[in-house]
Amino acid sequence: MSETSTIVVGGMTCTGCSGRVRDSLEALDGVLSAEVSHETGQAVVSHSGTGREAMLAAITGAGYIADGASADFNWGDGEVWRKSANNTKWCLIGCSIGDFGTIAAFQFIPYLDALGWSTMSIMLLAMFNGIMTSIALETAILSAQMALNEAFRVAIGMSLISMLSMEAAMNIVDLVLTGGAKLTLWVIVPMLVAGFLTPWPYNYWRLKKYGVACH
């Protein structure tokens, strides 16, 4: 005889998250079906011969919080490093478009150069524009998985700490190596490397502990 269990799931932010939790549950022997909603934060599981502990373990193993408990945190999960690297990569691409575009505009467009903006002002504008283009790119990526308004909401909710640290790292490297807000072929690579490596451990921690990643 089958029975139904309801489990409170934390860390889900989109339909991609709820889909991963559902797949993890339905992969268990004895689970007949699972209905998971990131909006209600619940998983309703129909099962026969599968205990609640096994279902909780499946959810935490997927990187989410089940009934208030998460998997033990560690820094040795290669799969999470790979996923967090992918998330960081797309964020870096989005940030670089706005950041590099802003610096290039003040460097190569005579009208903007003539405004006489300080290096700090240009870099702050570059950081702001980089965050905006990153959110736009994330929205475009997520819109393939969910409605556009939900994709925008999730993109806005993605870690501001990650984007700010990425932008700060790139612009500090630019300032140290060139002495100002300047783009040259040789400075782009170290800027990108710094922009990727700086937030990557944080993104790993966030994904491993809270299951926050949506592509």
Q: State residue 71's pLDDT score.
A: 62
Positive or negative, the CA dihedral 103, 118, 198, 12 is negative
Paired residues of 43 in beta bridges: 7, 36
CA 84 to chain centre: 7
Q: State residue 39's pLDDT score.
A: 86
Q: State residue 80's pLDDT score.
A: 82
Separation between Cα atoms, residue 188 and residue 107, nearest integer Å: 14
**Cα separation values, 71 from 60, 63, 64, 67, 68, Å:** 5, 7, 8, 12, 10
Q: State residue 131's pLDDT score.
A: 94
Q: State residue 115's pLDDT score.
A: 92
Q: State residue 49's pLDDT score.
A: 84
Q: State residue 10's pLDDT score.
A: 84
The answer to whether the CB of 42 falls within 8 A of the CB of 9 is yes
The closest of 190, 171, 212, 176 to 70, measured between CA atoms, is: 212
Query: Would you state the structure tokens that stand for residue 102, as one six-digit string?
Result: 């802003």
Per-residue pLDDT of the chain (215 residues; tens, 9 = 90+): 789 999 999 878 778 788 889 999 999 999 999 999 988 989 999 998 888 889 988 888 887 888 876 666 779 888 889 988 998 999 999 999 999 999 999 999 999 988 999 999 999 999 999 999 999 998 888 788 778 887 787 777 767 888 999 999 999 999 999 999 999 999 999 999 999 999 999 988 888 776 665 54
Q: State residue 168's pLDDT score.
A: 96
The closest of 72, 68, 70 to 8, measured between CA atoms, is: 68
The closest of 70, 87, 62 to 158, measured between CA atoms, is: 87
Domain range list for the chain: 3-66, 78-210
- Helix/strand/coil for 65: strand
Q: State residue 152's pLDDT score.
A: 84
CATH class of 3-66: alpha beta
Q: Which helix (H) or strand (E) holds 93?
A: helix 78-108
